[in-house]
Amino acid sequence: MSPATIVGYTDLTPAQAKDLIATEKDLVIVDVSPYYANGHLPGAVSIPLSVLDSKISTLDKTKPHLVYCHGDEPSIAGAQKLVDAGFSRVYRLEGNYAAWVSAGYQVST
């Protein structure tokens, strides 16, 4: 089953996201949550949605980006902001941080 593409970004299940992290060496993992310090995906950078607009220019549009949060609305908004800014390879973690944890994958604190 292939991931569904919606409005310019691609939703990935935790398993698909884990595979992407393992195979895409240039992947930038963006945590748009204000709860980064409470736990995050290994290697993720913290760019809360509230400051994402001002930080987009610091991100490399040529690299793929995986966006997630602790809720759907912020991760959808974050992924869409990257797409709207001209990023071509944008992914969103379906189910967000909770789905990653439920799948038993490693987290950092």
- Residue 14 belongs to domain with CATH number: 3.40.250.10
Task: Tell whether 108 is covered by a domain.
Answer: no
Task: Tell whether 59 is covered by a domain.
Answer: yes
| Confidence check: pLDDT of 42 > 90 | yes
Task: Tell whether 109 is covered by a domain.
Answer: no
| Confidence check: pLDDT of 62 > 90 | yes
Q: What range defines the domain where residue 83 resides?
A: 5-102
Task: Tell whether 26 is covered by a domain.
Answer: yes
| Domains in the chain, number | 1
Quickly state the pLDDT bin for 1 (edges 50, 70, 90).
very low
DSSP 12-50: E-HHHHHHHHHH-TT-EEEE-STTGGG-B-TT-EE--HH
Task: Tell whether 107 is covered by a domain.
Answer: no
Q: Which whole number is the average pLDDT over 68-79?
A: 95
Task: Tell whether 79 is covered by a domain.
Answer: yes
